[in-house]
Amino acid sequence: MGQKTADPRAASAPAAPLTQRQEARRLGILAATTRLASRGGFDAVQMRAVAESSNVALGTLYRYFPSKIHLLVATMQDQLEQLHETLRKRPPTEADPAARVAGTLMRAFRAMQREPHLADAMVRALTFADRSVSAEVDAVSRLTTAIIVDAMGLPVPPGPEQLSVVRVIEHTWHSALITWLSGRASIAQVKIDIETVCGLIGRR
Amino acid sequence: MGQKTADPRAASAPAAPLTQRQEARRLGILAATTRLASRGGFDAVQMRAVAESSNVALGTLYRYFPSKIHLLVATMQDQLEQLHETLRKRPPTEADPAARVAGTLMRAFRAMQREPHLADAMVRALTFADRSVSAEVDAVSRLTTAIIVDAMGLPVPPGPEQLSVVRVIEHTWHSALITWLSGRASIAQVKIDIETVCGLIGRR
DNA sequence: CGCTAATGTGGAACACGTTCCAGTGATTCG
DNA sequence: CGAATCACTGGAACGTGTTCCACATTAGCG
């Protein structure tokens, strides 16, 4: 009676396998979301509009993504995966680990500047998410961590102290992004903040 | 035409003076908000409920606070002012500036733990706020900065580098709070993150 | 091929933030 | 005191996220 079988994508791995059609639908929804978000930001991503724009019924949209927040967090995950891919192909070249991390984050930041509305939608969703989205937000967080750890060029299993530093960098990254998106900090200030926090790297 | 006279409290100082009745109303609204938030968090702060609970018509509530976000950010400002007051009376006693800041933030954190729902409502509002609330969010940010600067025991005008450090600490504080509130980080982890970022103090 | 369960469709309905308005005080100024 | 202005009330109305439901389509499976 209760469960209507598994959602088509509970967290990431151990969910229903998704047929081709379903995967295509999912991607279509994410594409529509990106499109709408790139225009009007968070507010423009209206569930009815997403459904229409991706040729899917509202109920179906909600079956794939149980809330607007889930949808936008999934979009962020999508974008981050692309970024991670790009970064793997052309990794940062700076000599100093701290500079590599700062450079990587600034690259990501520049990508956000190109699509500020999209960035707005994704970041607002990320920080507004409550416990019901924690699994998905966690996935995004792991991705971000991976990107930073890669940039640091750490030996595979980083120690707990290094992980703390990475977490603090991630905190600063998110929060600085928010202050920029809400117009309370300039691009230059975000840069300074990122560089400042990267000063934590390579110290004990 | 257009402006319906000044809102009863645009940002902070240069607004309409507010009569006693009005100030009382304002405080009543904030009290009702705190009450409701302390129970059910962000979702429980429903504008109709706030209006009813503070014996004010919905339209009046909106005249005082133009949105739910404004209302919650104002509540946070209120709480922070109280905290600042408390801290001024009993300042941190640690010898090291970094330890003083960490201790101060942990004290604030403990206050949040006592009212997690209230904290949830306020912090979610703070990070969800868009440009239309930037003045109010800025006021909160200035208050937070003041608290941290006080704890550092800095000479009155801190240099730009020190201000960057303070901003990074603030970023970490907000973001760590969010991860705790959404159940993705433990209290211990928040403590570690705060202590880690405080390692930036007293260097350079 | 037909049966059955799972999926998808279209749309109504509901909740809550927000806006608006007509009427009723309350306050101030002449 | 009278009049004008402003604030407050009560409530209707609207938009958007979310839920629900009756029906249609699809996909596997004997």
CATH no. for residue B182? 1.10.357.10
Nearest CA in chain A to B43: A130
Looking at the domain assignment, is residue B144 inside a domain? yes
A193 to B129: CB separation less than 8 angstroms, yes or no: no
State pLDDT tens for residues B124-146.
999 999 999 999 999 999 999 99
When CB atoms are compared, the residue of A137, A164, A184 closest to B184 is A137
| Positions 26-55 in A, CB within 7 angstroms of strand C | 55
Strands (E), A45-141: none
Average of pLDDT values for A91-113? 96
Residue A49 lies in a domain: no
What proportion of chain B, given as a percentage, has pLDDT over 70?
A: 90
> Distance between alpha carbon B160 and the CA centroid of its chain, in Å?
23
Alpha carbon of residue A31 to chain centroid: 15
- Would an 8 Å CB–CB cutoff place A186 in contact with chain B? no
Q: What is the pLDDT of residues A21-73, one digit of tens each?
A: 889 999 999 999 999 999 999 999 999 999 999 999 999 999 999 999 999 99
Question: Any idea which nucleotide's C1' is nearest the CA of B60?
Answer: D8
| Exposure letters B14-52 (e unless 16+ CB within 10 A, then b) | eeeeeeeeeeebbebbbebbbbbbbeebbebbeeeebbe
Look at residue A112 and tell me if it is in a domain.
yes
> What separation, in Å, do the N-terminal and C-terminal C-alpha atoms of chain B show?
56
Q: With respect to residue A54, please indicate whether it lies within any of the assigned structural domains.
A: no
Query: CA–CA distance from B195 to each of A113, B180, B198 (Å)?
Result: 32, 15, 5
- A35 neighbors A91 (Cβ within 8 angstroms): no
Contacts of B182 in chain A (CB under 8 A): 129-131, 133-134, 137
Confidence band, pLDDT 50/70/90 cuts, at residue B21: confident
Please give the pLDDT value at position B185. Answer: 97
**Position A10 confidence tier, pLDDT thresholds 50, 70, 90:** very low
Residue A14 lies in a domain: no
Using CA atoms, how far apart are residues B154 and B15, in angstroms rounded to an integer?
31
Closest CA to B197 of A108, A197, A89: A197
Which nucleotides of strand C are protein-proximal, with an atom < 7 A from a CB? 6-12, 16-22, 27-28
What local confidence, expressed as pLDDT, does residue A16 receive?
57
- Helix B97-114 to helix B187-198 angle, to the nearest 10 degrees? 150
Answer yes or no: is B186 within a domain: yes
- Under an 8 A CB cutoff, do A168 and B129 touch? no
* Overall domain count for chain B: 1
Residue A158 within a domain? yes
For an interface test with B, give the residue of A43, A144, A168 to mutate (most B CBs within 10 A).
A168
| Cβ A158 vs Cβ A202: under 8 Å | no
Confidence of residue B15 (pLDDT cuts 50, 70, 90): low
Smallest CA-to-CA distance from A124 within B81, A116, B55, A132 is with A116
B178: alpha, beta or left? (left if phi > 0; alpha if psi -120 to 50): alpha
Nearest by CB: B193 against A171, A178, A182? A171
Residues B65 and B54 sit within 8 Å (Cβ to Cβ): no
Residue B79 CA to residue A88 CA, distance in Å, equals: 45
* CA of A201 vs chain B CAs: smallest distance (Å): 10
- Supply the range of the domain harboring residue B155: 68-198
Label residues A32-50 b or e (16+ Cβ within 10 Å = b).
bbbbbbbeebbebbeeeeb
Q: Is residue B194 part of a domain?
A: yes
CA-nearest residue to B183 within chain A is A131
Which letter does DSSP use for residue A133 in this model?
G
